Amino acid sequence: MKGNRFWAWLVFGIGAAYFLVPLIATFEFSLRMRRGYYSFDSYASVFSDPRFQATFGYSVVIGILAIIVGILVVVPAVYFVRLRMPWLRPFVEFLTLMPLIIPAIILVYGYIRLYNSSSIIPFTGSALGTDILLTCAYVTLALPYMYRAVDTGMRTIDVQTLTEAAQIAGAKTPQIIGRIILPNILVAVLSGAFLTFAIVIGEFTIASLLNRPAFGPYLQNIGANRAYEPAALAIISFIITWGAMGMINVLGRFAPRTSARTD
C-alpha cells in the first residue's frame, strides 16, 4: 500500500514538474528585466503599452460578442435537437467537431475567398464587416466546447418534462428557453462562455490573417521583437485562462439542484 502511494506521488511529481518548471522559469525570466534585480518592470512595460490595452480590449469585446452569438446559436439548437429531433444528434455532434479537425488557417482562407471585397457578401471590405467575420469565426472555433458544455448541461435536467410543464402553464417557446431551460443550464453555458473567452484571447491565426488588432497577433509581435515582455505576457495570458477555468469551477457550485425524493 505504501509502495503504491510512493509511485503515485512520483508520477504526480513528474507531471507537476513537467507543467510547473517551464512556467516557473518563464515567470523567473519575466522578472529579470532590470539587471541584477528581480522586478516587475516587464509587467509595467506591458501594461503601459497602449497597444496592449487596445488589443486586449478589442479581443475582450470580440470574445464577448462571440459568447453572445454562440449562446444564441447553440442553446436553441441543442434544445430543439434534444426535444424534437434526437435522431439528428449524432450528425450535429459530428458537425460541431469539425472545427477541431479543420485547422484555423483553412477556415480563414475559406472565409477570405467567400467574403472578400469583390464577393456578393464583402465582409472583408470594411473593418466592421471583418469584425463580424472574426466574431463568426470564433463562434465556429469555440463550437465544440460550447456545444458540449450546453449539451452536458441539458443532460442534467429533464428537458422534455420541464418544457411540457411550462407549456401547459401557458408558456411559449422563447419563454420556456429564457425562463426555464437557460437558467437551469446557466452554469454549463457559462463554462462554455469561459472556454470561448480563453480561446479568443490567445487566438492568432484568424485574427492575423484577417488583419484585425487582436491580442493574439500582438503577443506574436511582442514575442518577435522584445526579450522580457513576452514572458510577462505569457504569464498574464496564463492567469487570464486559469481565471476563466477557475470561474467554471466556482460557478458549478451555484447550479440549480434537483431532487427525485420519494418520501
Partner 1 sequence: MASEFLRVDNLTKSFGTNTVVKGVSFAFEKGEFISLLGPSGCGKTTILRMIAGFENPTSGSITVDGNDITHLKPNQRQLGMVFQAYALFPNLNVGDNIGFGLKIAGMPTEERRARVADMLKLIGLPGFEKRYPYEMSGGQQQRVALARAIAPRPRMLLLDEPLSALDAKIRVSLREEIRAIQLDLGITTVFVTHDQEEALSISDRIVVMNAGNIEQLGAPHEIYNKPATRFVATFVGQLNTIEAVVSDVAAKKVTIDGQTVSLHTLPDNAKAGAGISLTLRPEVLTVGARADNDISLTGTISDVTFLGSVIRLRVALGTNIVSLDTFNDQRTAPPVRGEPVTISLASKDLLVLAA
Binding residues (CB under 8 A) for partner 1: these are: 157-158, 161-162, 164-172, 175, 179-180, 183-184, 186, 256-263
Closer CB to partner 1, residue 22 or residue 183?
183
Closer CB to partner 1, residue 118 or residue 259?
259
Tell me the C-alpha distance between 45 and 36, whole Å.
Answer: 18
Closer CB to partner 1, residue 75 or residue 199?
75
Q: What are the start-end ranges of the H helices in the chain?
A: 2-30, 41-48, 50-83, 89-101, 104-114, 127-155, 159-168, 173-175, 182-184, 186-202, 205-209, 215-225, 229-252
Three-class DSSP category at 255: coil
Closer CB to partner 1, residue 15 or residue 178?
178
Angle at 210 between CA 132 and CA 130, to 5 degrees: 25
Closer CB to partner 1, residue 51 or residue 172?
172
Region of 233 please: left (phi>0), alpha (psi -120 to 50) or beta: alpha
C-alpha cell at 171: 408558456
Closer CB to partner 1, residue 247 or residue 255?
255
Tell me the C-alpha distance between 218 and 100, whole Å.
Answer: 24
* Cβ-proximal residues to 247 (8 Å cutoff; 6+ apart), any chain: 190, 194
Least CB distance from residue 65 to partner 1, whole Å? 26
Closer CB to partner 1, residue 61 or residue 169?
169
- The CA–CA distances, whole Å, from 155 to 63, 152, 205, 233 equal 26, 5, 34, 38
Least CB distance from residue 164 to partner 1, whole Å? 6
Tell me the C-alpha distance between 154 and 182, whole Å.
Answer: 9
Least CB distance from residue 235 to partner 1, whole Å? 38
Tell me the C-alpha distance between 249 and 76, whole Å.
Answer: 24
